[in-house]
């Protein structure tokens, strides 16, 4: 009986433990439900909740940051690396119709299970085909071929990528591969990636390639079949559920280490933005995150042109300001040269909640001109500076005028120095000539005196001889 009781207790205990474990797992599943991108249309000023671990949105024109999340945290970029690869290739002004032969390294230097378009060693296609295949279809062997074409080899091309990144102001970026296949030493940040895309979209050819939905590579020397390519940036494909009408182009990426990544650019109402999302758990969330961030920024920010109708001639501070300039600097120049101007197209990206009528401008005029800049106008809202723009001279380049005056002064100084030197030389020569004349005169005087002494001596000798003869004659007669 005791054995059966003990056995019953053991079974009951095991059942209890089993029930407890199952409950915990169920609770865990309920609490770890995958998050979703969440927008707040009823509260447009509220930032969306996104899935991506790092993200940023910047203004393509000014570089101003409108949204950021872990934007300086190092992440693996995966295939959005190809933005830099294509940019560098385009900056080398290559002949896009030039034919390239695929090398052994380009074909077998990548993981063949990674994204590729099935090219083979010795296959020939144009640089244009390589560029489109790299950006549209994310073909890793094509990115490799571009790196060999431009840099000679992948290692040297990586140096070019890192140098370019440094020139663009990237602080936490290091590239190893041209295609983004994983390497522990290949990383970037959301902010740095935004800087790279900002530089890239200044290239019209890049814009065209990055905004292409589909492209077809024609038959090559090794195949009679064409290769149709379709973009992985679903936000620019009208036939895709993730299509976003304001998105103009971009590049997506994925590796198991990097997770999903995406960089895009979009335009609405004249405002162009760049969005980067990194380390996103789920491809679809890169698109929903980007769309939510774009909606938030487009709904909350706008360009404001504070100087659209501004001129010094109709500004109330004009007379005082001009007098200030003249008194402090320009009294040494021709006053007719001064024509204060500003960039009437200067714009600031401001939050739509700002009352633009309360934006104050402060005119600062310099005591010294520098590169034709006479001062600046600063803009403030509730004591916070929103922006600033330069005041320049619209008629002539003061720098040129100043340089001209400087050159004239230098010429006058040089002429004066030459004249002074000539005077000194003349004086020295005159002194030398005078010394020579004096020396010659002194010699003449000395020679004359010698001659006079010689003559006196000779005369004295003659007188003595005559006197002696006289005495002799006298003696004779006596």
* Cα angle, residue 277 at apex, residues 276 and 282 outer, rounded to 5°: 150
Do the domain assignments include residue 406? no
Do the domain assignments include residue 15? no
Distances, alpha carbon 10 to alpha carbons 4, 23, 255, in Å:
10, 20, 49
Q: Are residues 228 and 328 in the same domain?
A: no
Picking from 401, 424, 449, the residue at the C-terminal end of a domain is 401
H helices present in 153-282, as ranges: 154-167, 190-200, 204-210
Do the domain assignments include residue 113? yes
Do the domain assignments include residue 115? yes
Catalytic residue among 52, 79, 288, 290: 79
Take residue 122 and report the two structure tokens written for it. 């010795």
Cβ neighbours of residue 289 under 8 Å, at least 6 residues apart? 37, 48, 50, 51, 52, 55, 277, 280
Q: Are residues 296 and 322 in the same domain?
A: no
Is 450 in the active site? no
Q: Are residues 97 and 215 in the same domain?
A: yes
Q: How many domains does the chain have?
A: 2
Picking from 300, 330, 349, the residue at the C-terminal end of a domain is 300
Do the domain assignments include residue 61? yes
Q: Are residues 139 and 270 in the same domain?
A: yes
Q: Are residues 264 and 332 in the same domain?
A: no
Q: Are residues 281 and 346 in the same domain?
A: no
Q: DSSP letter string over 250-311? A: EEEEEETTTEEEEEEEEEETTEEEEEEEEEESSHHHHHHHHHHHHHHHHHHEEEE-TTTT--
Give the CATH number of the domain where residue 59 resides: 3.40.710.10
Picking from 401, 435, 462, the residue at the C-terminal end of a domain is 401
CA distance 391 to 364: 9
Q: Are residues 285 and 329 in the same domain?
A: no
Q: Are residues 226 and 164 in the same domain?
A: yes
* Predicted model pTM: 0.72
Q: Are residues 124 and 150 in the same domain?
A: yes
What's the DSSP call for residue 152? S
Q: DSSP letter string over 403-436? A: HHHHHHHHHHHHHHHHHHHHHHHHHHHHHHHHHH
Do the domain assignments include residue 313? no
Catalytic residue among 71, 138, 288, 290: 138
Do the domain assignments include residue 464? no
Catalytic residue among 82, 164, 251, 291: 82
Is 138 in the active site? yes
pLDDT tens, residue order, the chain (478 aa): 444 454 444 444 443 433 333 333 333 333 357 889 999 989 989 999 999 999 999 999 999 999 999 999 999 999 999 999 999 999 999 999 999 999 999 999 999 899 999 999 999 999 999 999 999 999 999 999 999 999 999 999 999 999 999 999 999 999 999 999 999 999 999 999 999 999 999 999 999 999 999 999 999 999 999 999 999 999 999 999 999 999 999 999 999 999 999 999 999 999 999 999 999 999 999 999 999 999 999 999 999 899 988 877 654 444 455 455 444 444 444 444 566 788 888 888 889 999 998 999 898 877 777 777 888 899 999 999 988 998 887 655 444 444 444 455 556 566 666 677 788 888 888 888 888 888 888 888 887 777 777 777 677 766 666 666 655 555 544 4
Q: Are residues 231 and 362 in the same domain?
A: no
Which residues span the domain enclosing 239?
A: 54-300
Q: Are residues 136 and 183 in the same domain?
A: yes
Is 430 in the active site? no
Please give the distance of CA 358 from its chain centroid, rounded to a whole number. Answer: 33
Q: Are residues 225 and 270 in the same domain?
A: yes
Do the domain assignments include residue 389? yes
Give the CATH number of the domain where residue 387 resides: 2.60.410
Residue 397: name the closest of 328, 339, 310 by CA.
339
Residue 133: name the closest of 29, 47, 217, 25 by CA.
217
């Amino acid at each position: 009986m005791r054995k059966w009781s003990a056995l019953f207790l053991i079974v009951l205990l095991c059942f209890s433990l089993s029930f407890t474990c199952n409950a915990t797992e169920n609770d865990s599943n309920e609490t770890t439900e995958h998050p979703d991108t969440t927008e707040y249309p009823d509260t447009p000023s509220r930032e969306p909740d996104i899935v991506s671990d790092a993200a940023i949105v910047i203004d393509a024109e000014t570089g101003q940051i409108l949204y950021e999340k872990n934007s300086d945290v190092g992440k693996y970029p995966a295939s959005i690396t190809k933005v830099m690869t294509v940019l560098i290739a385009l900056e080398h002004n290559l002949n896009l119709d030039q034919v390239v032969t695929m090398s052994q390294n380009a074909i077998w230097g990548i993981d063949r299970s990674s994204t590729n378009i099935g090219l083979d060693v010795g296959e020939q296609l144009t640089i244009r085909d390589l560029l489109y295949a790299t950006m549209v279809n994310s073909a890793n062997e094509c990115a490799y071929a571009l790196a060999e074409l431009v840099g000679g080899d992948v290692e040297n091309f990586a140096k070019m990528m890192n140098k370019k990144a440094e020139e663009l102001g990237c602080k936490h970026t290091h590239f190893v591969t041209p295609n983004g296949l994983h390497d522990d030493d290949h990383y970037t940040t959301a902010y740095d990636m935004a800087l790279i895309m900002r530089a890239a979209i200044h290239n019209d050819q890049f814009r065209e390639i990055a905004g292409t939905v589909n492209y077809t590579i024609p038959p090559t020397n090794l195949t009679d079949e064409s290769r149709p390519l379709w973009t992985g940036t679903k936000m620019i494909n009208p036939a895709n559920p993730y299509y976003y009408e304001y998105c103009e182009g971009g590049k997506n990426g994925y590796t198991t280490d990097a997770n999903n990544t995406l960089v895009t650019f979009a335009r609405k109402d004249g405002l162009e933005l760049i969005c980067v999302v990194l380390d996103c758990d789920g491809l679809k969330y890169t698109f929903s995150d980007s769309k939510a961030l774009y909606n938030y920024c487009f709904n909350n920010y706008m360009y404001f042109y504070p100087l659209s109708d501004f001129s010094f001639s109709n500004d109330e501070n004009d007379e005082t300001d001009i007098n200030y300039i003249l008194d402090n600097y320009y009294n040494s120049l021709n006053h007719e040269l001064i024509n204060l101007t500003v960039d009437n197209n200067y714009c600031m990206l401001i939050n739509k909640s700002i009352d633009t009528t309360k934006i104050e401008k402060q005119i600062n005029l310099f005591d010294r001109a520098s590169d034709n800049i006479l001062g600046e106008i600063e803009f403030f809202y509730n004591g916070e500076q929103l922006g600033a723009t330069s005041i320049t001279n619209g008629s002539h380049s003061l720098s040129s005028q100043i340089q001209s005056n400087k050159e004239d002064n230098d010429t006058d100084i040089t002429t004066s120095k030459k004249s002074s030197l000539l005077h000194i030389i003349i004086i020295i020569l005159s002194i030398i000539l005078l010394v020579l004349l004096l020396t010659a005169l002194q010699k003449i005087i000395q020679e004359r005196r010698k001659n006079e002494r010689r003559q006196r001596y000779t005369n004295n000798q003659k007188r003595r001889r005559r006197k002696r003869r006289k005495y002799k004659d006298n003696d004779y007669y006596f």
